[in-house]
């Protein structure tokens, strides 16, 4: 992947196994967020391809990839500030179920979607704040909502870009506990800087540095890897 | 607990007492002796026109400096029909709305990739182009003097448009209410909520797989339909159409009306229209040359002290006055007061 003369990636080969909880770690500038942008369709690679279960999705738009089940969260909260969590999750579910075309039918009739949205908020511990405007919620809860919005789409691949960013240790743990417990069957790919979270919850770890994957393996393998220790973890 | 969610949405879409009082009041003034029905009819037409912009600006967050184009297209469509033999008013309204709505759909497609100042300039540019075309085409449209000899038949074959303005008022009020009812339902649907979502964060809406561009196109189309019907109402009740109806001045005035009244409540436009039309009428009688100064001053004062407009400010005030619950709980938005 190159931006003009700047080559971000140099022969990047990455494989995500179904059902994995795969962590991507690495120093800033290593290309992690660019990588996620390519997977989700925000950026088009200058060379190479993106395959989903053998299907070539390289030329698919963001909308098409979401339809295929590739969903992401953002490093900075991307929420509907003036809406409440229940409204936000209901929108997500309505879009998923394709019941949001122009219509005169009042939203109060969509009981299935409303109930599912509330159940989801309960599972992630946001039920008490369901009718509080998003912009009034504390940052920690907004971060959880960010994940809930993506999770509500029932994705095949859930991409979390630094989900615990700005959260305290216990908040970060709680969030990962919820995601891991509820994500059975969903393949999760997450970028994180908090090594405790990575080694507690990841089933596989890939280390990015300088636009390429310098190591790939189970958390224990990575912990022991000399090159990774030098480049990133420190001794 | 699950009921909280369903209750929330039920409250969000229900008709409040204020709304009922509002519409009864408009019906009631018809019987008030000596009331200036022609003026109030103007208020309703402006209110309907402002509501059309509210859909795009208030609910979807897209500013438009060219909405008079849709108003004027509807006005002239109704005018042409009346001038060249098709005098039935109801079908004339529908035709005007559909023509204007189609142009709205096309506009939606054009602006879908734009935002900010660029978008504003495109809407303005299209409006100016249309105005210039109509103004110059004397043979086609009557040019600057406007479209004359428009004939409108009695409504339903029974109610003639007369000098007293009674038929016109009931006609305008009925059409306005029907369109309001429709737009209110649209705004309270899942589609309406998606529009608001796209307004707040279109990036997230795209990430939810929403047809953001398609929804915007439909919003423009529906908005243009309503604006077109408003224009047709004006033409049919005055039997006249002029280029002023699609001028930039009207587009700018519309924005003023909506900002004064308040966006994203559907009713804001009607309050803004009331202030604007009544003030214009009163001030013009006092001083025909400088009345616009007062409108400008009013706009500055309202934006400074009632930043969100008359209606949202009044609504917040009322909520604080009567709130029993924790102030953090957001009361259902949408159109209820």
Mean pLDDT of the region A200-221: 87
Phi-psi region at B269: left, alpha or beta (left = phi > 0; alpha = psi -120 to 50):
alpha
- Whose tokens are 């204007």? That residue is B100
Q: Which pLDDT score is estimated for B291?
A: 75
Q: Whole domain around residue B219: which residue ranges?
A: 2-291
Return the number of other C-beta atoms located less than 10 Å from residue A13's C-beta: 9
Average pLDDT over residues B233-253: 94
Percent of chain B residues past pLDDT 90, beyond the cut: 67
* Domain-located, residue B325: no
Residue B301 lies in a domain: no
- Among the ranges given (A39-48, A167-176, B206-215, B220-229), the one the predictor scored with the smallest mean pLDDT: A39-48
pLDDT single digits (tens) B170-189 = 999 999 999 999 999 999 99
If pLDDT is split at 50, 70 and 90, which confidence band does B336 have? very low
C-alpha distances out from residue B294 to A76, A135, B50, B271, B301, Å: 45, 37, 20, 17, 10
pLDDT at B191 (0 to 100): 97
- Angle subtended by helix axes B17-28 and B166-187, to nearest 10: 160
Q: Does A67 touch chain B (CB under 8 A)?
A: yes
For residues B139-152, give the mean pLDDT. 88
Q: Find, in chain B, the residue whose alpha carbon is nearest to that of A133.
A: B330
Query: Does the pLDDT of residue A229 top 60, yes or no?
Result: yes
Which one has a higher pLDDT value, B97 or B301? B97
Q: How many domains does chain B have?
A: 1
Between B68 and A221, residue with greater pLDDT: B68
Which domain CATH number covers B201?
Answer: 1.10.3470
Instruction: Give yes or no for a contact between A174 and A6, defined as CB atoms under 8 angstroms apart.
Output: no
| Domain annotation covers residue B320 | no
Q: What are phi and psi of A106, to 5 degrees?
A: -65, 145
**How far apart are alpha carbons B194 and B197 in whole angstroms?**
5
The alpha-carbon gap from B11 to the nearest alpha carbon of chain A, in Å, equals 9
**How far is Cα A220 from Cα A225, in angstroms, rounded to an integer?**
9
Does residue B293 belong to the interface with chain A, where contact is any CB pair within 8 Å?
A: no
Confidence at A232, pLDDT banded by 50, 70, 90: low
Taking the C-alpha atoms of residue A193 and residue A167, their distance in angstroms, rounded to an integer, is 12
Q: How far apart are CA B298 and CA A44, in angstroms?
A: 51
Between A230 and B75, where is the model more confident?
B75
> Touching check for B207 and chain A: CB below 8 Å?
yes
Residue with tokens 């992630």: A124
> Angle at Cα A113 formed by Cα A124 and Cα A135, nearest 5°?
50
Q: Out of A63, A113, A130, whose CB is closest to B206?
A: A63
pLDDT band at B334 (very low <50, low <70, confident <90, very high): very low
Residue B53, in any domain of the structure: yes
For the stretch A46-77, pLDDT in tens is: 888 888 888 888 888 888 999 999 999 998 99
Nearest to A100 among B6, B182, B194 (CB): B194
Judge contact between A96 and A77, C-beta under 8 A. Answer: no
Residue B322, domain member (yes or no): no
Name the residue with tokens 């077109």: B228
Whether B40 is covered by a domain: the verdict is yes
Q: What predicted TM-score, i.e. pTM, was given to this entire model?
A: 0.91
Tell me the pLDDT of chain B averaged across its residues.
Answer: 90
Q: What integer pLDDT is reported at residue B294 of this predicted model?
A: 80
Mean pLDDT value of segment A108-120: 95
As a whole number, mean pLDDT of residues B142-167 equals 87
Nearest beta carbon to residue B206 from set A62, A96, A132: A62
pLDDT band per the 50, 70, 90 thresholds, residue A233: low
Closest B-chain CA to A119: B2
Residue B167 has pLDDT above 70, yes or no: yes
Does some domain include residue B337?
no
Mean pLDDT of chain A: 88
A170-174, B45-49, B290-294: range with lowest mean pLDDT: B290-294
* Cα distance between residue B293 and residue B300, in whole Å: 11
CA B30 – CA B170 distance, rounded (Å)? 8
Please tell me the predicted confidence (pLDDT) of residue A58.
Answer: 86
Q: Which of residues 26-65 of A touch B (CB under 8 A)?
A: 40, 62-63
DSSP B243: G
Q: Which range, of A123-137, A143-157, B297-311, averages the lowest pLDDT?
A: B297-311
Interchain CB contact of B208 with A (< 8 Å): yes
Q: Is the pLDDT of residue B12 over 60?
A: yes
């Amino acid at each position: 992947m190159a931006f003009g003369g700047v080559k971000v990636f140099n022969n990047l080969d990455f494989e995500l196994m179904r059902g994995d909880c795969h962590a991507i770690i690495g120093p800033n500038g290593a290309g992690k967020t660019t990588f996620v942008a390519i997977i989700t369709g925000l950026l088009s690679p200058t060379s190479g391809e993106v395959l989903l279960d053998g299907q070539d999705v390289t030329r698919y738009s963001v909308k098409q990839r979401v339809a295929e089940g590739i969903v992401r969260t953002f490093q900075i909260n991307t929420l509907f500030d003036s809406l409440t969590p229940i409204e936000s999750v209901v929108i997500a579910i309505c879009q998923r179920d394709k019941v949001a075309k122009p219509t005169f039918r009042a939203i109060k009739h969509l009981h299935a979607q409303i109930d599912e949205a509330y159940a989801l908020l309960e599972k992630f511990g946001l039920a008490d704040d369901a009718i509080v405007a998003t912009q009034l919620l504390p940052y920690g809860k907004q971060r959880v909502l960010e994940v809930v919005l993506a999770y509500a789409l029932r994705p095949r691949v859930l991409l979390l870009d630094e989900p615990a960013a700005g959260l305290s240790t216990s908040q970060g743990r709680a969030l990962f506990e919820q995601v891991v417990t509820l994500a059975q069957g969903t393949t999760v790919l997450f970028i994180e800087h908090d090594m405790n979270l990575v080694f507690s919850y990841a089933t596989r770890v890939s280390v990015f540095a300088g636009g390429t994957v310098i190591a790939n393996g189970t958390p224990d393998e990575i912990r022991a890897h000399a090159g990774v220790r030098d480049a990133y973890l420190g001794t | 607990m699950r009921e909280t969610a369903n209750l929330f949405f039920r409250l969000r879409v229900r008709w409040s007492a204020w709304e009922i009082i509002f519409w009864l009041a408009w019906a009631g003034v018809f019987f008030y002796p000596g009331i200036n029905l022609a003026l109030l009819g103007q208020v309703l037409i402006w209110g309907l026109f402002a509501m059309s912009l509210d859909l795009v600006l208030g609910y979807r967050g897209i500013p438009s400096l060219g909405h008079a184009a849709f108003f004027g297209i509807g006005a002239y469509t109704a005018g042409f029909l009346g001038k060249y033999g098709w005098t039935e008013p109801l079908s004339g309204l529908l035709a005007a709305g559909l023509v204007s709505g189609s142009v709205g759909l096309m506009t939606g497609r054009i602006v879908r990739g734009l935002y900010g100042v660029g978008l504003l300039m495109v809407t303005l540019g299209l409006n100016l182009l249309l105005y210039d075309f109509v103004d110059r085409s004397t043979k086609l449209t009557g040019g600057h003097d406007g479209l004359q000899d428009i004939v409108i038949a009695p409504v339903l074959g029974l109610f003639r448009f007369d000098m007293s303005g009674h038929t016109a008022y009931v006609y305008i009020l009925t059409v306005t209410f029907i369109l309001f009812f429709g737009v209110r339902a649209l705004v309270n649907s899942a589609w309406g909520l998606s529009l608001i979502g796209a307004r707040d964060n279109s990036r997230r809406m795209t990430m939810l797989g929403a047809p953001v561009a398609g929804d915007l196109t439909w919003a423009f189309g529906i908005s243009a339909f309503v604006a077109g019907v408003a224009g047709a109402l004006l033409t049919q009740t005055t039997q006249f159409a002029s280029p002023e109806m699609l001028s930039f001045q009207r587009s700018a005035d519309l924005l003023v009306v909506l900002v004064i009244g308040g966006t994203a409540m559907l009713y804001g436009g009607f309050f803004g229209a009331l202030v604007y039309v009544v003030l214009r009428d009163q001030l013009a009688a006092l001083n025909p040359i400088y009345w616009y100064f007062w409108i400008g001053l009013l706009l500055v004062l309202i934006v400074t002290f009632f930043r969100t407009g008359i209606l949202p400010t009044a609504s917040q005030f009322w909520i604080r006055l009567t709130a029993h619950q924790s102030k953090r709980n957001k009361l259902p938005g949408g159109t209820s007061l």
